[in-house]
Amino acid sequence: MSDTHSNTVSYVRDTMLDQQEPPVTERGVIKWLRENLFSGWLNSVLTIASLGVIWFIIIEIGPWLLNTVWNAESLRECRAILDGTSGACFAVIKDRWHQLLFGFYPPEHYWRPVLAMVLMLVALAPILFSEVPRKMLYFSVLFPFIGYHLLWGGSVWLPISVLLGFVVGYVAFRATAKLSSLVSVIAAVAGTFLWWVFLAGPFDAAMYSVAPIGLEYVRSDAFGGFLISIVIGVSGISLSLPFGILLALGRQSDMIFLKSVCVIFIEFIRGVPLITLLFTASLLLNYFLPPGTSFDLILRVIIMVTLFASAYMAEVIRGGLAALPKGQYEAADALGLDYWKAQRLIVMPQALKIAIPGIVNTFIGLFKDTTLVVFIGLLDPIGLSNAIRADTDWNGIYWELFIFIGALFFIFCFGMSRYSMYLERKLKTDHR
* Residues 347-376 within binding reach of other proteins (CB under 8 A): 349-350, 353
Q: How near is the Cβ of 338 to other proteins at its closest, in Å?
A: 6
Write the DSSP assignment of 78-125 as a string of letters.
HHHHHTTS----THHHHHHHHHHHHBT--GGGTHHHHHHHHHHHHHHH
Helical axes 399-427 vs 348-369, angle rounded to 10°: 180
Point out which span in 85-93, 305-313, 341-349, 365-373 binds other proteins (CB under 8 A).
341-349
With CB under 8 A as the contact rule, the residue among 210, 334, 390, 407 that binds other proteins is: 334
Stretch that binds other proteins, among 23-31, 71-79, 307-315, 329-337 (CB under 8 A): 329-337
336 near other proteins (CB under 8 A) = yes
Of the candidates 321, 182, 308, the residue with the CA atom closest to the CA atom of residue 252: 321
Part of the chain binding other proteins (CB under 8 A), chosen from 18-26, 196-204, 339-347, 384-392: 339-347
**Which letter, b or e, does each residue of 396-424 get, where b requires 16 or more Cβ atoms within 10 Å of its Cβ?**
ebeebbeebbeebbeebbeebeeebeebe
The correct pick among 328, 356, 417, 419 for binding other proteins (CB under 8 A) is 328
User: Cα–Cα distance between 211 and 136 in angstroms, integer?
Assistant: 29
Asked if residue 331 binds other proteins (CB under 8 A), the reply is: yes
Residue with smaller CB distance to other proteins, 131 or 430: 430
User: Binding residues for other proteins, how many (CB under 8 A)?
Assistant: 22
Q: Least CB distance from residue 158 to other proteins, whole Å?
A: 38
Q: How many CB atoms lie within 10 A of CB 258?
A: 13
103 - beta bridge partners? 223
For residue 388, what are the CA distances in angstroms to 71, 139, 290, 393? 17, 38, 37, 9
Span from 84-92, 308-316, 335-343, 393-401 in contact with other proteins (CB under 8 A): 335-343
Contact between 335 and other proteins (CB under 8 A)?
yes
Q: Is 223 helix (H, G, I), strand (E, B) or coil?
A: strand
Shortest CB 177 distance to other proteins, Å:
15
Taking the C-alpha atoms of residue 96 and residue 283, their distance in angstroms, rounded to an integer, is 30
Please say which residue, 272 or 331, places its beta carbon nearer to other proteins.
331
Find the shortest distance in angstroms from Cβ 386 to other proteins: 48
- Are 290 and 320 in contact by the 8 Å Cβ rule? The answer is no
Task: Give the one residue of 71, 333, 402, 418 binding other proteins; rule: CB under 8 A.
Answer: 333
Residue number with CB closer to other proteins (219 or 344): 344
Contacts of 366 (CB under 8 A, 6+ apart): 233, 236, 237, 240, 305, 308, 309
Stretch that binds other proteins, among 61-69, 192-200, 266-274, 322-330 (CB under 8 A): 322-330
User: Which window, 47-55, 191-199, 208-216, 345-353, contacts other proteins (CB under 8 A)?
Assistant: 345-353
Q: Please tell me the total number of residues recorded for the chain in this structure.
A: 432
- Using the contact rule CB under 8 A, the part of the chain among 40-48, 327-335, 375-383, 402-410 near other proteins is 327-335
**CB of residue 327 vs other proteins: minimum separation in angstroms?**
4
Question: Under the criterion CB under 8 A, does residue 255 sit at the interface with other proteins?
Answer: no
Torsion of CA 263, 268, 269, 275, to 10 degrees: 180
**Sequence-distant (≥ 6) Cβ neighbours of residue 217 within 8 angstroms:** 152, 153, 154
Q: Which residues bind other proteins (CB under 8 A)?
A: 325, 327-328, 330-331, 333-338, 341, 345-346, 349-350, 353, 427, 429-432
